[in-house]
Homo-oligomer: A and B are copies of this chain.
Amino acid sequence: MTQPKPRKLHLAAFLTGAGSNVAAWRHKDTPSDGPVNLKLNIELAQIAEQAKFDFAFIADSAYITKSSTPYFLSRFEPLTILSALAAVTSKLGLVGTFTTSFSEPFTTARQLASLDKLSGGRAGWNAVTSALEDVAKNYGQEKLHEHAVRYKIAAEYIELLKGLWDSWEDDAFVRDKEKGIYVDFDKLHTLDHKGEFFSVKGPLNMEPSPQGRPIVFQAGASDAGKELAAKEADAIFSNSSDPEIARAFYKDVKQRAAAYGRKPEEILIFPAITPIIGATEEEAQRKYEQTSAYVDIDLAIKYLSRFFSFHDFTQYPLDEPLPDLGDLGKDSFKSTAEGFKRMAKEENLTLRQLALRAATPKGNFIGTAVQIADKMQHLFETEAVDGFIVYGYVQPEGLRDFAEQVVPILQERGLFRTEYEGETLREHLELPYPVNRYTKERVNQHEQQIDPVLSHPSGG
């Protein structure tokens, strides 16, 4: 019997603009226009690639108000910045957030496949359902579908995209100049999808990339989100690096995936962490406090309110325990909103305390490089995570410190690669190559024709 392959830790860089702190843009060492600064984004991607990270990741949303905090007001749209980064990197995966609620599946399929092809097989898609109520008004609708419906739409959407991405079998493009054969049209397939929410004919006018199709990420942590991910996603952005919560989540998702016939290593789990590194614990703590000092309570409350579709929190007293908010946020960022409500209740936090906690996330990764590496190793080895998305507290310093100080420790311990071993994001993540559905059909038919007994599971 063969041993299971040893698990390997994966690392990603969060392209955050100025940094994780809502007021990070005020830090002297970061450009004030981080979310729209191409140079900063290139620098972050190149730091990540030099440190052999698996991928860079960018979040997204499409609704702002005067209650929005700086980062959200003006920032690169994911496809444009990731495509630009594709031209100046060669190994780094490029993962972007695209909604399934307000877009044409054919266009999303095409744009992602095009990014995948031009990057040589390095694209990933974080499929989200959009969570801000008023975002619907930017797309001709009065309000968001409720949470459960959004996830039903997302499930059909993801299946549909995988179908369009199978339009061309891997070897369809012959391109034989001598014989004048450009393509084998027998390997072109028309999906003709007619579902509950979408009707899309195909075929897609883009061939497969070297990784077959983009890697699918999912970020929902609600039950509906986990179930969708277990069925469809190659990887999940989870929302806690607390050891107990993370381990329970990890186990839950891998079990759900098993119910769909998937192996544990076919769905990877990534929480975000915000390392703040000092030569001593005290220095790290000081860095945290210096940056947090930029955050005033107004900004913090604005930041908090976004997770509740910009609910007006200014109506509550600042220094009294947060009142019971009922099911507020249930159709927005459901699991994050619930997390904040639970935290406030369990720790009896005032509005001021909760808002500051949300706006200046401290996390468990403040300390020396060795302390941080220890915590990461522990989470990885106790099956709480498969990797981490590193969110710089101030950029580019946050990511650079991590790459220069923590990554070498992880490498010395044999946890993280010292060189890229593959070319594509799929290879970095050691995910199985998706065999085209029509190729599979053809092969199955062929095998049955040759020997119907041998190809049968009970055969031989």
Task: Give A contacts to B, CB under 8 Å.
Answer: 23, 25-28, 32-33, 36, 38, 42, 61-64, 66, 70, 72-77, 79-88, 102-104, 106-107, 110-111, 113-115, 117-118, 120, 134, 137-140, 168, 173, 175, 177, 180, 182-183, 185, 188, 198-203, 205-207, 294, 296
Contacts A28-B177, A72-B205, A140-B199 given; does A103 touch B114 at CB 8 Å? no
What separation, in Å, do the CA atoms of A452 and B113 have in the docked complex?
A: 57
Rounded to whole Å, the gap between the CB of A16 and the closest CB of chain B is 15
Q: Is the CB of B206 within 8 A of A118?
A: no
- Report whether over half of chain A's contact residues are helix, strand or loop; otherwise say mixed: mixed
* Contact between chains at A138 and B202 (CB < 8 Å): yes
Kindly list 14 other residue pairs between chains A and B, CB separation below 8 angstroms, not including A73-B183, A77-B110, A80-B114: A32-B182, A36-B117, A62-B107, A66-B185, A73-B173, A74-B205, A76-B114, A77-B111, A77-B206, A80-B118, A84-B84, A84-B86, A85-B87, A137-B201
> Does B180 lie within 8 Å of A26, measured CB to CB?
yes
Number of chain copies forming the complex: 2
The complex places the Cα of A182 from the Cα of B68 at a distance, in Å, of: 11
Chain B residues closer than 8 Å to A74, beta-carbon distance:
168, 173, 205-207
Nearest-CB distance from A297 to chain B (Å)? Answer: 13
Q: How far is B74's CA from A203's CA once the two chains are assembled, in angstroms?
A: 10
> Per a CB cutoff under 8 Å, which of B77, B106, B139, B206 touches A104?
B139
Residues of B within 8 A of A201 (CB): 134, 137-138
> Which of A72, A75, A76 lies at the interface centre, i.e. has the most chain B CB atoms within 10 A of its CB?
A76
